[in-house]
Every structure is written in structure tokens, then in C-alpha cells.
Structure 1
Amino acid sequence: MTGTFALLKQRRFLPLFVTQLLGAFNDNLFKNAMVLFVVYGVFNDEASETAFSAIATGLFILPFFLLSALSGQLADTRDKARIIRIVKFCEILIMLVGAIGLVLAWLGWAVHLVAIPLMLLALFAMGIHSTFFGPIKYAILPQHLKSDEVLAGTGLVEAGTYIAILAGTILAGVIDVEWAAIGVVVVAALGYWTGTKVPPAPPEHEETGIDWHIVRSSIALVRGTMHIPRLYLAILSISFFWTIGAVLFIQFPPLVKNILHADKSVASLFLAVFSIGIAIGSVAVNRLLKGQVSARYSPASVIVMGVFVLAFYWVCRDWGANAEGLLYDIYSWSSRVWSTPPARLYDIQGFLAHDGVIPLLASLLGIAISGGMFVVPLYAFLTTTVPKDQTARTVAANNIVNSGAMVAGSLLAIGLGFAGVGVVDQLLMSAIMCLVSAWLAQKLHRACD
């Protein structure tokens, strides 16, 4: 095993990689089990479903906006491996609360009054967990890896994250909530165990005091980072990208149910294809750049992403026109064609029989691959252009701006939904935002390369 994947044999990288992978898997197993249950089992109108999906996304993102400054200070001034152990232990407690909510939902007991609030509480707490773990997973790489390994390590972390998202998303779509409840607790325990294997990562200077005032420290952190033109452009580019990603992820479950008329297994397939694409793009751009940290391919990548978003929009818009004559009778093993759409939703077999499925999935995969190629070099740029004792705070500042943009995107999706703008038409907003990201990435490329 050589090159990028050789890092997976190194103790200085493998435990962190596996811990991050398990955390991303657990986040998505829990979140998607919850969202799919509510979208398919509780609500029955597109606006409410989109709103719940957006609320769930917003609650998970909100801690990044509120607490990233604190997490960045801790990661830069305390042993990162010790923080990992504390954070992963807390994940076990959080998932116990989430598991209770999932079990109550499965039993049908106080779904609106207790089960859903408990699940949303656990999701918010997992956002806090990820807020404190996020800066570490990037900031520890320059400390444990050689300078020519950082881009490869960043690409592997991103690829592993989305492979884990893929696995958690698929599993959430095919198992019942009671099994998801057991799974999230078991995975949290495994994550704690692997976290204990991460080698020590002491601070680059002596431990200093922490500013616990989250508003003051957040303003100071962003102000202290964003005045540097290159970091300013990189952070804004990443923020626009993740706003696009948040809006797409919010739209997927209600779009699959109401526009594509498919069940939750197809919604999981959508999220899985997106995750595969990000993983492919994350590794591919490292090969193209040959280990060099550069934004060279980022402008073109996000332009291509916007083209694929438009293609996805057109396929979704015309999906219903192609429905007649290709829906299979899912009650039998025969291939008898129906003359009118059935009352119930497509399963995977029926969905894959649709004439538009190949361009639909191809455009979705294209969005994700080009997105991965866009964002990975920018993350590597954040961690390699500042002193090692400032990397966590730089990532934390990035998280504050990113999360603020994503929360704004979630609120916009809710507002557009209740204003009568359908999930398909909202895709056009994502395509337009790709142009802004491309412009910012081009400015960054000119400033740095």
C-alpha cells in the first residue's frame, strides 16, 4: 500500500480516522432514522416535511455557530487527544437519550410530546459534540503528519467522513427505529474506544486561559481570522459550498417523497449517492494536485457542480411526465406496466425502473464529485497556511461562518417552502450560489497561486 492510503497503516493517523468515521456514521444513522421516520410516518404535506428537515439540520448546525470559538481555543491550548476522549465519552450519554426517543417513536408513545423533542435534543447535543471534535480532526493533522502528507490526510478524512455518511444513511433507510436505537449506542461506545488510541497531541505552546464568553470570543476569533485576505476568501468559499449542501440535504427527503413519489429507501439512496460522490471527489483532487495545497481546480469544480445542479433540476421537473407507462406493480413479481401511477410510493425496484433514473442519479453523483473536488483543497489550505498553534482556531472560525451561512440557508428553505416555492424550484437557488463560490475560489486562486 503506497501513497495516500499508506497513512491508513500509521498509528499517528488510523485511530483518528476511525474515530472520525464512527462519529460521522453515528450522526447520520441517528439523524436520518429520525428525519425519515417523521417525514414518512408523522407528517403528510411537503411544507411541514421540508420545515422539519430544515429544523433538524439547523439544530445540528447551531452549536457550530455558538461554540466554535470555545472549541477552537480548547483544541489549540489543550492536548487534543485528551479532548477527543472526553468528547467521545459524552457521545455515549447523548446517544442514550436519542435512543430513548427512537424507541418511544417506534412504540408510538407520546410521539409529538416526548419522542420527537427527545430526538431533537439529542441531535442538538450531537451538534455540540461535533463542534468540539471538528477543529481537532483537522488541526491534529499538521501535528501528526508530514507537510507533504497533510493534503492526503485531509482527503482521506473527508472521504472517510462521506463513506461513513453513506453507511449511516443507507442503514437508517432500511432498518427500523428500534434497531437504530441500539446501533447508535453501540457505535458511540466503539468511537470512545478508538478515541483512546489517538496518540498524544499536546499544545504547541503552554496552556493559556480560555475566554468563556461565547459571543465575545466568537467575534474576536472571526475578526482575528477574516482580516487575512486568503483565509477570508477560503472561508467564504467553503461557507457558500456548505450552504448549498445544507439546502440540498434538506430538500432530499421531501423531494423524494413528493416529487419522485418514492419511499424512504430511495431517500437513503439519494444521500448515499451524494456521499459516494464527495468521497470520490475528495480522493481524486489529491491525485490531480499531487499533494500540493492549491485552489487551482476549485473554481472549475464548483462551476461544474452548478451545471449538474441544473441538470438535476430539469430531470426532477420532468420526472412526473415520464411516469406513465413505466411504474411496476410492486405487489407482484411480474413486470406488468401500469397505465396510471399507483397510490403508494416507489420502492427501490420501481424507482430504478423509471426512464429518468440514470440521468437523475448521474447528475446527483456529478454534483457530489465536483463538490468534493472543490472543498477539500480549501480545508487543507486552512490548516497549512497558519502556524500550527493556530490551526484549530482557524478551523473554528471557519465553522462559525459556515454554520451561520448554513443556518441562514435552512431558514431560507423553510421560508420558501411556506411561501409556496416547491423543493424542485429551490434547486435553482443552489445553482446560483455555485457561481458565487466559483467567483470567490477564483479570487483565492489568484491571491495564492
Structure 2
Amino acid sequence: MTTTTTHLLGTRRFLPLFCTQLLNAFNDNLYKTAMVLFVVYQVYNNEETEGTFSAVASGLFILPFFLLSALAGQLADMRDKARIIRMVKACEIGLMLLGATGLVLAWRGIGTHSLAIPLLLLALFLTGVQSTFLGPIKYAILPQHLKRDEVLAGTGLVEAGTYIAILAGTILGGFLPIEIAAIGIIGTSLVGYMVSRQIPAAPPLGEVEKLDWHILRASVALVRNTMHNREIYYAILAISFFWTIGAVLFIQFPPLAKNVLMASKEVASLFLVVFSVGVAIGSVSINALLKGQVSARYAPQSVIAMGFFVIAFYVVCLFWEADQPTQLLGIMEFLGWPMASVLLLCLLGIAIAGGMFVVPLYAFLTTRARPDQAARVIAANNIVNSGAMVGGSVLAMGLSMAGVEITEQLLMTAGMCLVSAWLGRRLLVAEREAADALAATTG
């Protein structure tokens, strides 16, 4: 840990923001993991129904990004960012009370289908609303509070803290009894709000414009105004298609783990942990390869490698089905089953390759945008991303309802990686053209 990093963790202009983001990521993942795994493992006993529920849950969480990102981006650039964070964190207490009520009702078997599950899905939708408004601020507030030579260290700390929080929330969501998870999400939301009150003010940097409350018009204008830069344009398209693949994979995952791999919810939680670790490894690896340079030169190869690992995962699942366990496996039983290590390595490979593909693309958004418009560029990306992910959720839900087996849907995911590779190649061409144009201007 560098001197700059150590110094930042002791300052009020960074530590409260860092802790608020960490607690937010932890609570989101604790709730989502506990809710989805409980419903899939304890409520439903049908692969088609489980796949449909997983798709509906993913779609509801993503939908606010599509509807409200334009407003969130405007607010983040034109209002005090710290005040917005405090307001959103205060609302989180209420939505987590709602989610906790749904968890307890489902645990007690009270109105499971008529009341508990609708409450759980409503709270998940509101969690998506919360993340929509916090997302642009996370990227745009650091340059205001940190010195120029501190921004990279601060960004690295926030990303590292987020990964740790995701891992912790995912692990506890899979292992904690559901009633304890309900208490945990309420307590975490209260602590998160108290910490957020310590974040220093972050007023707008540019000219304060009038907010456009017309959701559709503002969204169209925001995306149109952002897409004139070809590097940002192709980065957003590539990120969006990547997360379409991610949405389909995450929808397939819980029912596949339960019905094909015969894995308990603790093992399913382990899978999510492996995936998060893999993305983190991929992020570090690509940064080392690029040596700090923002470039898409490894993007096509990375996503093709991801498709290869998806196919390998599919093949392992076929072998697994040929010698399928007769009951759900705990962690030790799973690790002792033939092919378990190969399965985990395939999953790790998918995540590492995915992290290597997508992380540099986000850097294009923050380095090619003007500082006073950074939040709106991120918001435009969120709009396109969420639209693509909702499309992926609808596609996965349709395939499940049509009776296409979860295992066979993996092949479609692998095929989609080829489209992502083509988009990554287009971004690389745009990057080189921009570099040539800059060289011609300065030379």
C-alpha cells in the first residue's frame, strides 16, 4: 500500500465516501443473494419457474437504470453530490425494511406467493433505483475531493473496496439464515446513512442547467449527445453487449446450479465468489498488460477467450449430467465430486477473461469525457447497458418459458461473445484513428 493510499484512508474528504460505497455494495449483494437463493432453493421446485423468477428479478433490478439514468446523470453534474448521496442512503433504510419484511414473511411461509415475493421484488426494484442515482456520483465525485495525483489511488481503493464488499455480501447471503440476513440489511443501511453524513460537500463544477424531467426525451438527448465521440460510442456498445451476456449468465446460474449441478445454495454462493474473484484478477491482469495505458488492444482476444471458457463450462455440465448426484451437494461433497475442480476453473476463466475485456472499456468513458460531463457520460452508458440487459433478461425468460434447457442456453451465450469481439475490434480501430488524428494535429 502506497503512502498516498494510506494518507487518503485517514482523510475526511475520502474515507466517508469510501466506507459509504463499501457498505452500499455489501448491502446490495447481501440482499440480492439471500433473496434469490432462498426463493430458488426453498420456494420453487421447477426449473422453468426458477429460471423465470431469476429473469424477472434481474429485469426489475436493471429497469431503473434504463428509466432514470438520464435524471441521475443530470443531478450528479448539476447538484451537490454529497447531498444526493445522503438522500439516497436515507431512502435505503425504508427499502431495506421492506425487503426484510418480505424475507421474514417468506421464511415463515406467510403469503409467500401473494405477499412475500411481491415485496421482495419491489424492494429489489427500489434497490435498482438507489444504485441508478449513486452510480454516476461514484465516478464523478473523486476528482472534486482529491488532488490530481490522488485520483488514481482513490479510484483503486474504491474499486478494491467494492470487490471486497461484493464478496462479503455474496458469501454471507448464501450462508446466513434468512432471518439473520433480514436483520443484517437493516443494520447495514442504518450504518451506511450515518457514515454518508460525513461526506464533504461536492457542488457542481460547470454551469448549472435546468433539469429535464421528461424521462424519454432526456434519455434520448443524453445518449445522442454522448455518442458523437466514436471511442465512447463503441465503448458503450461493447460494454452493453458484454453485460447482455452477463445478464443471461447470471439468470441461468441459480437454476443451473440447483437442477443440473445439484449444488446447494452454499455452493451456488461459492460460484458467485469465484466469479467475483475472477473479475478482480482480470482487472489487475489487464492493467498490468496495458501498463496504465487506456487501450482496447486486448479486448477482442479477451472476450473470445471468455466464449471458449463458456463452451468448456457447457461441456463439463454435460459430463456432470451423465453422472449427476441424487441430492443437493454441500461444499465439501461438491469439491469431492469428479470434475468439480475443472468446473470451477472454467468459471474462473470466464470471469478473468470478462474482467480483462470490460475494465479498459470503462476507462474510455472517464478519460474521453469532459470532467463537467463525466457523470452524464456514465449515465448514458447506464441507459444503453440497462436496455441491453433488460433485452437479455427477456430473451432468457422467453427461452425458459419455451422449454429450452438451461444447459443449452449456455451455447447461445458463447455465440454472443463473437459479437462482443467484433465490437471490441471496432473500438480498437476508433482508438487508433483518434491517435493518428491527434498526432497529425500536434505534429
- Does TM, scored on the shorter chain, surpass 0.5? yes
Alpha-carbon distance in 2 for matches of 1:67, 1:356: 44
**Aligned partner (choices 387, 405, 408) of residue 404 of structure 1:** 387
**CA offset digits 1:106-153 (Å, max 9, x no partner):** 111111111111111111011000000011111223434456665665
Alignment of 1:114-129 (within 5 A): 114-129=115-130
Q: Is the 8 A contact 1:154 1:376 kept in 2?
A: no
Given the superposition, is the C-alpha separation of residues 237 and 45 from structure 1 closer, same or farther in structure 2, using an over 3 Å criterion? same
In structure 2, what residue type is equivalent to 1:411?
V
Say if 2:86 and 2:197, in contact at 8 Å, map to a contact too. Answer: yes
The 5 Å alignment of 1:17-166 reads 17-145=18-146, 153-166=154-167
Gaps of 5+ in 2: 433-443
For 1:305 and 1:146, locate their aligned partners in 2 and report how far apart those are by CA, in whole Å. Answer: 37
Q: C-alpha distance in 2, partners of 1:376/1:155?
A: 12
Is 2:386 the partner of 1:385? no
- Specify the alignment match of 1:425 in structure 2: 408
> Residue in 1 aligned with 2:190?
189
In structure 1, what is the Cα distance between the partners aligned to 2:166 and 2:27? 8
* Structure 1 residues not aligned, in runs of 5+: 324-340
191-200 vs 306-315, which deviates more? 191-200
Contact 1:155 1:283 in 2 (8 A): no
State the Cα distance separating 1:319 from its structure 2 match: 0.8
1:35-80 CA-partner distances (Å, limit 9, x unpaired)? 1111111111111001001101100000000000000000010111
CA contact (8 A) 1:143 1:388 kept: no
Number of paired residues? 431
Question: Does 429-438 or 178-187 show the bigger shift?
Answer: 429-438
Contact 2:26–2:166 (CA under 8 A) maintained in structure 1: yes
Quick one: structure 1 residues 202 and 179, their matched pair in 2 at CA, closer, same or farther if it must change by over 3 Å?
Answer: same
* Mapped pair 1:372 → 2:355: yes
Shift of 1:155: 4.8
Using the alignment, how far apart are the partners of 2:241 and 2:185 within structure 1? 31
Partner of 1:203: 204
Pick one of 352, 355, 371 that aligns with 2:338: 355
Identity %: 68
Question: Retained in 2: the 8 A contact 1:162–1:275?
Answer: yes
Q: Which moved more, 1:278-287 or 1:344-353?
A: 278-287
Contact 2:96 2:123 in 1 (8 A): yes
Q: Which deviates the most, 109-118 or 139-148?
A: 139-148
**RMSD (CA atoms):** 1.9
Counterpart code for 1:263 = S
- Deviation (angstroms), 1:384: 1.6
Is 1:438 the counterpart of 2:439? The answer is no
3-state SS in 1 of match to 2:303: helix
SS at match of 2:329: coil
Greater shift after overlay, 382-391 or 199-208?
Answer: 199-208
Aligned counterpart, 1:333: none
Q: Assess if the C-alpha contact under 8 Å between 1:278 and 1:371 holds in 2.
A: yes
Deviation at 1:269, TM superposition (A): 0.9
Q: Secondary structure at the match of 2:404?
A: coil
State the SS of the aligned residue for 2:261. Answer: coil
CA–CA distance in 2 between the matches of 1:148 and 1:243? 35
Structure 1 162/427 Cα, relative in aligned 2: closer, same or farther at 3 Å?
A: farther
Q: Residue in 2 aligned with 1:224? A: 225
Report the equivalent of 1:332. Answer: none
Deviations 1:329-367 (Å, cap 9, x if unpaired)?
Answer: xxxxxxxxxxxx43x311111111111111100111111
Asked if structure 2 preserves the Cα contact closer than 8 Å seen for 1:17 and 1:160, the reply is yes
The one-letter amino acid of 2:386's match is S
**2-side partners of 1:289 and 1:8: how far apart?**
26
State which of 381, 385, 397 in structure 2 corresponds to 1:414. 397
Q: Which moved more, 1:236-245 or 1:370-379?
A: 370-379
Give 1:154 deviation, angstroms.
4.4
Matched position secondary structure for 1:319:
helix
Which secondary structure does the structure 2 equivalent of 1:318 belong to? helix
CA contact (8 A) 1:60 1:123 kept: yes
Would the aligned equivalents of 2:307 and 2:414 in 1 still touch at CA under 8 Å? yes
The 2-side partners of 1:284 and 1:5 are apart by: 20
SS, match of residue 121 in structure 1: helix
**CA deviation vs aligned residue, 1:228-281 (integer Å, no higher than 9, x gap):** 211110001100111111111111110011000111111111111111111222
Question: Quick one: which amino acid aligns to residue 289 of structure 2?
Answer: L
Are the counterparts in 1 of residues 231 and 364 from structure 2 also a CA contact under 8 Å? no
SS in 2 for 1:63: helix
Please report how far the alpha carbon of residue 13 of structure 1 lies from its aligned counterpart in structure 2 after TM superposition.
3.8
Match of 1:327 in 2: none
- The 1:83/1:215 distance shift into structure 2, 3 A limit, reads same
